[in-house]
Amino acid sequence: MRRFATVSLFALTLAACAEPASETTATVFTNATFVTMDGPNTDALLVEDGRITALGQDDIDAALGNSVTIVDLRGATVLPGFVDSHVHVRELGMDAIKVDLVGAQSLTEIIARIRAQRPNPAPGEWIIGQGWDEGRYADSASLEGLETPGGYPDTAPLSAAFPDNPVALESLHGFAAMGNARAFEIAGIDADTPDPQGGTILRRSNGEPSGVLLTLAQALLMDAAPEITQEQRETAIRAGLARMAQAGVTSVHEAGMTGEDVAAFRALAERGELPIRVFGLLNGNDTELMDDWFEAGPLDDADDYLDIGGIKVFFDGSLGSRTAMLSAPYADLPDTARPTARISLNAIDRLAVQARDTGFQMAVHAIGDEANDCILASYELRLSESPYDHRWRIEHAQVVRPDFAERAAALNVIASMQPSHAVGDSAWAEARLGDERIRRAYAWKSLDAAGVPIIFNSDLPGEPWEPMQTLHFALTRTDLDGAPDGGWYADEVLTREQSLRAMTLAGAHAAFQDDTLGSLSVGKWADFVVLSGNPMTQDDVREIDVLRTYVAGEHVGGE
């Protein structure tokens, strides 16, 4: 993987700049290219009480009083802070609690990673891990010579390696889990355990569980594992947000908040410990949680640090694990495919009615073309009854039918898409779909050309997530090493301006925050990122470093 360059001289000189003194009410940021995202570039920025009050040196000179601090940015580029509009930030901060399995290439490597990160577990202690790629395993006919139902590994070696410790390992995209024999014993999963509705227990030829659970069957295992404490939850959230601030992200949309997550975010907000802004999307699959929130209504923070106004609903599965809902069979291994609806369409429709009537935004996970068609049909029905500025979203919109773009554009439904997914899935996506359907998958430019609003985000922590990485994927459709040469279906790339807008102003708009966030505009919060190069013009955005991150004019990340 190519390593990002460092600009140590700039970082040092910037770090030496004076911070605003406590009595100072105005700060001028100057000597930089300010890319505003809603107008022409400018050369200076005035910040007062956390907001932008003037743009351009001439207007600033006319507005300045006696008490001002000047910050010389030494020729850098300044952009509005990046809005990562689909994240799972708590999971990003869980490294200290869960074994990191991202990038593991085999069951042997998974076992080695566990031993390295948890070298001396106490007998009976649970070992929890996350990040093994279910798409890669589902694409394998066999792994390490073991019996592999549906291409997944038999976890007998995991049981042999950790006979006294229950092990539960969550997958990269959340559509599978694997565990060892001790964990299955504690969870009560055996040959007589039936498949739950919407889930599958993979089995050996003798009917015994092989150790892998798909979609809703994961709960059989994970519900037996110990819950993290609220203190651990808050620590993980704070750590994840701090990492994102370092990378230039000033606002996130947390997708699928549980009740415990909400409590943790609210506690951090009340203590002033959220380093960047959070727009919450509640877990719409939790009926009890949603009943409470429909009664209470959305949370609108005047300072925009914690707004909760959306509902994230998990509908189908993933393309990699062959659990996404397609309107025709999978092109490869159709007999192993297990298309899954994690919630009924009737339940989604009820949520849509309640969301519309109480002011919540709908955001539904839909991967397959059948799933996308079903969700769009529900939106068409409910929004036609009461048209308004809904800003409802489809998360991923990964594989769509030929009429999807026209219908979504007519309704102004937002396609929330992940450039990293196209690149990460490129090794096997065409095999899953065939050469016709692949042309309607990950189709950013086609959707944009039809008038569908698009936002770009990371869906972290499953893929490389830093904004310059996301932008590289968006502009090239290649991985961080530049493969494949020329890009994977590169005719679907957007322009630099379109891609950056999808990562800034469009993301703010998708959270009803474009009046205060997303661009460098007078009256908006002074949320911006200082970069070592200009992504509008620099050929290789991988070489651009984040030097500093500001939220409401305060330094929250970088040197």
Mean pLDDT by runs of 10 across the 559 residues of the chain is: 30 39 74 96 96 93 80 97 97 84 90 94 93 75 42 91 96 90 97 92 93 93 92 95 98 98 98 98 98 97 97 95 95 91 96 97 98 98 92 98 98 98 95 97 98 97 94 98 96 98 98 98 98 97 98 95
Chain-centre distance for alpha carbon 471: 14
Question: What is the model's pTM?
Answer: 0.85
In the prediction, which pLDDT does 7 show? Answer: 32
In the prediction, which pLDDT does 146 show? Answer: 39
HEC string for 258-276 = CHHHHHHHHHHHHCCCCCC
CA–CA separation, 262 vs 292, rounded Å?
Answer: 12
CA–CA separation, 6 vs 559, rounded Å?
Answer: 12
Mark out the alpha helices in 47-170 (DSSP H runs).
57-63, 89-92, 107-117, 134-138, 156-161
Query: Per this entry, what is the length of the chain?
Result: 559
If we measure between CA atoms, which residue out of 5, 6, 11 comes closest to residue 76? 11
In the prediction, which pLDDT does 314 show? Answer: 96
**To which residue do tokens 């490294």 refer?**
95
Q: Do domains 98-222 and 315-495 have the same CATH topology?
A: no
User: Is 543 exposed, middle or buried (CB count within 10 Å of its CB: 0-12, 13-18, 19+)?
Assistant: middle
Beta-carbon contacts of residue 546 (< 8 Å; ≥ 6 apart): 246, 247, 248, 466, 467, 468, 529, 530, 531, 532, 557, 558
What tokens were used for 37? Answer: 């995202």
HEC string for 2-32 = CCCCCCHHHHHHHHHCCCCCCCCCEEEEEEE
Q: Where are the domains of the chain?
A: 1-81+519-559, 82-94+229-310, 98-222, 315-495
Q: Which CATH architecture has domain 98-222?
A: Roll (3.10)
Judged by DSSP in three states, 69 sits in: strand
CA–CA separation, 252 vs 268, rounded Å?
Answer: 15
Bin 333: left if φ > 0, else alpha if -120 < ψ < 50, else beta: left
CA–CA separation, 399 vs 345, rounded Å?
Answer: 19
Q: Please provide the CATH number assigned to the domain covering 1-81+519-559.
A: 2.30.40.10
Judged by DSSP in three states, 454 sits in: strand
In the prediction, which pLDDT does 301 show? Answer: 97
If we measure between CA atoms, which residue out of 521, 493, 461 comes closest to residue 252? 461
If we measure between CA atoms, which residue out of 534, 382, 399 comes closest to residue 471? 534
Beta-carbon contacts of residue 454 (< 8 Å; ≥ 6 apart): 414, 415, 417, 444, 447, 448, 494, 498, 502, 506
Q: What DSSP designation does 148 have?
A: -
- The answer to whether residues 177 and 170 touch, using CB atoms and an 8 Å cutoff, is yes
- The answer to whether residues 528 and 520 touch, using CB atoms and an 8 Å cutoff, is yes
In the prediction, which pLDDT does 94 show? Answer: 83
Beta-carbon contacts of residue 117 (< 8 Å; ≥ 6 apart): 99, 100
Handedness of CA 93, 544, 542, 2 (dihedral sign): negative
In angstroms, how far apart are the furthest CA atoms of the chain?
82
Q: What are phi and psi of 263, to 5 degrees?
A: -60, -40
Beta-carbon contacts of residue 504 (< 8 Å; ≥ 6 apart): 37, 79, 80, 81, 82, 83, 518, 519
Domain 315-495: top CATH class: alpha beta
